[in-house]
Structure formats: C-alpha cells, structure tokens
Amino acid sequence: MGRTVICPGSFDPVTRGHLDIIDRATKMFDHVIVAVLCNLSKKPTFTIEERIDFITRAVQSAEIKNVEVVGFEGLLADYARERNATALVKGLRAVSDFEYEFQMALTNKKLNPELETVFLTTNQQYMFLSSSIVKQIASLGGDISGFVPECIHDDICKRLTNK
C-alpha cells in the first residue's frame, strides 16, 4: 500500500517552486496527491481545469512518478481521512509563510489528529517565487521562463498577455 500524502495549494499557476516540492515529496512518500483548491476566497486567474492541466503536464514532462492531480473542494482534514493520507506536505519559503502555515497546521491537527503536516524548506533558487509574482511579471511582458515549467510556459504567457 505505502504512504500517501497530499500537497495542497491553489497553483494559480504551478511554478518551478511548486514542482520542486512535489518532486521531493515523491522521493519521501509512495503516493502524492496534488490537491488543487477550487474554493478559493480570492478569484483565481486560471480555471480549475487549466490549473489541473498545467500541473499534469508539468509532472509528466519532468517524469515525476506516483503523482495524482485532483480538483478539491471542502475540508482538507476530511479529504485526508477519506484518502487515508498520512500527511500534508507544504513548501515553506520565508518567514512570511510561517505564521499562516503554522496556524493551518495546528487547525488541521485539531480537525484530524492523525494527520501530520510536513514542511519542506524551499529550494534556495525558488525562495522568492510565487504564482502572483509570475502573473505580475508575465502580464507586464517580462520573461518568466526561469519560473514556470518549460512545457506550459507558452500557454501561461498567452493567457496572461492576450487580454
């Protein structure tokens, strides 16, 4: 059977930083579910279908194995129980991520005491990288090729600059 973990996020769109965390999670656990959040309070730029498609292509292109990409609505603590997941795996960038992630981890522990939250330290190279930075740069015509997986780069640029 092996151990299943969940990497949750908005992935709006997926970046090289996200992909690095997903890749590293597959090396530590047997099955990684990337849960793409549908119920975002802020309106996402990319649709749930686009976000799932980008991650699926990026994972395939990087030949990362044992990953399942799903759209997700509801409580992660319940979903983790349903899928028999051992832990949530999250990337931790700078101090700014810490307070929110700490609060979420404690809340999820309260809702599902069997569920752990595992934090992987960001790859130094991607420490400054976020989906919103990518969107800002691309919409101003800047070069985002170092920030997003190559196979989805053109699609992201097209969507962000054509309108």
For residue 18, indicate whether it is catalytic: yes
**Segment near ligand ADP (CB under 6 A); pick from 7-15, 58-66, 102-110, 155-163:** 7-15
Site residues for ligand ADP, 110-129, by CB under 6 A, read 122, 126, 129
131 forms part of the interface with ligand ADP (CB under 6 A)? yes
The values of phi and psi at residue 117, to 5°, are -115, 125
Could you give the angle at which helices 150-161 and 131-139 cross, rounded to 10 degrees?
60
For residue 131, indicate whether it is catalytic: yes
Residue type, 83: R
29 forms part of the interface with ligand ADP (CB under 6 A)? no
Please pick, among 57, 83, 93, 153, the residue that the annotation labels catalytic: 93
**Segment near ligand ADP (CB under 6 A); pick from 24-32, 56-64, 79-87, 89-97:** 89-97
Which residues make Cβ contacts (< 8 Å) with residue 161, sequence separation at least 6? 138, 139, 141
Which residues make Cβ contacts (< 8 Å) with residue 61, sequence separation at least 6? 149, 150, 151
For residue 42, indicate whether it is catalytic: yes
9 forms part of the interface with ligand ADP (CB under 6 A)? yes
Q: Given candidates 19, 21, 35, 48, which one binds ligand ADP under the rule CB under 6 A?
A: 21
Residue 89 structure tokens: 């795996």
